[in-house]
């Protein structure tokens, strides 16, 4: 009896994530995944289950990682308005190949819309967690006088998240880094008194 091939599960998951990120769920075949991950079909199924289960794990991993980075950029500066600008500008990769991938979460919206309740719940939870932190920073900025106090804080937080989505879609569409960063700064300036 052949001994099962051993592999680094985390490294294989990262490779699958990159394939799903670039191609989406429907356009990614099991063979695409196996080849990228460097594992056999049985190893893929044994370690990750089916393609959908692997996609969900990859999406969860992506969203957890990106949200951690978003919150770090948003929270690091003492200045709330600077944190918001860092959040938006930080979405823009200088690497052309990375930038044109856009956002895997936004890509899942484009692919699934609201038709998949399980994916909607995952995206909703990630978005809500980030939205709460953005809302807190908006309130901090209003209290400190950096953000216009006449703005509705919840609407402002939603505007920032919609700006994030727009930047990612524009990146996926091929917008260059300097234009995207300029739009991120432009959006941030609109929040000032």
- Residues with Cβ within 8 Å of residue 140, at least 6 apart in sequence: 80
- Has residue 131 been placed in a domain? yes
Q: Sorting pLDDT into bands at 50, 70 and 90, what band is 7?
A: confident
- Has residue 163 been placed in a domain? yes
- Has residue 112 been placed in a domain? yes
- Has residue 161 been placed in a domain? yes
Q: Sorting pLDDT into bands at 50, 70 and 90, what band is 4?
A: low
- Has residue 137 been placed in a domain? yes
pLDDT in tens, 170-179: 999 999 999 9
Comparing CA positions, the residue from 136, 66, 72 lying closest to residue 102 is 66
pTM higher than the cut 0.85: yes
- Has residue 28 been placed in a domain? no
* Domain at 130, CATH number: 1.10.357.10
pLDDT in tens, 81-110: 999 999 999 999 999 999 999 999 999 999
What's the total number of domains in the chain?
Answer: 1
pLDDT in tens, 45-80: 999 999 999 999 999 999 999 999 999 999 999 999
Return the C-alpha torsion angle 135, 137, 139, 143, nearest 10: 180
Domain range for residue 74?
59-189
- Has residue 54 been placed in a domain? no
What angle do the packed helices 153-172 and 117-144 form, to 10 degrees? 120
- Has residue 89 been placed in a domain? yes
Q: Is the pLDDT of residue 125 over 60?
A: yes
């Amino acid at each position: 009896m052949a001994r099962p091939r051993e592999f680094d599960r985390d490294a294989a998951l990262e490779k699958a994530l990159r394939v799903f990120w670039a191609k989406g769920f429907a356009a990614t075949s099991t063979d695409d995944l196996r080849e990228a991950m460097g594992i056999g079909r049985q190893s893929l199924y044994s370690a990750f289950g089916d393609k959908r289960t692997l996609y969900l794990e990859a999406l969860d991993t992506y969203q957890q990682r990106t949200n951690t980075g978003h919150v770090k950029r948003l929270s690091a500066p003492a200045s709330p308005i600077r944190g918001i600008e860092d959040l938006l500008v930080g979405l823009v990769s200088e690497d052309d190949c990375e930038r044109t991938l856009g956002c895997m979460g936004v890509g899942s919206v484009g692919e699934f819309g609201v038709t998949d309740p399980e994916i909607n719940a995952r995206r909703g939870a990630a978005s809500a967690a980030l939205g709460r932190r953005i809302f807190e920073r908006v309130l901090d900025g209003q209290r400190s006088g950096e953000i216009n106090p006449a703005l509705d804080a919840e609407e402002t937080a939603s505007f920032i998240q919609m700006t994030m989505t727009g930047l990612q879609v524009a990146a996926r569409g091929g917008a260059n880094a300097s234009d995207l960063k300029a739009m991120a700064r432009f959006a941030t300036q609109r929040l000032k008194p």
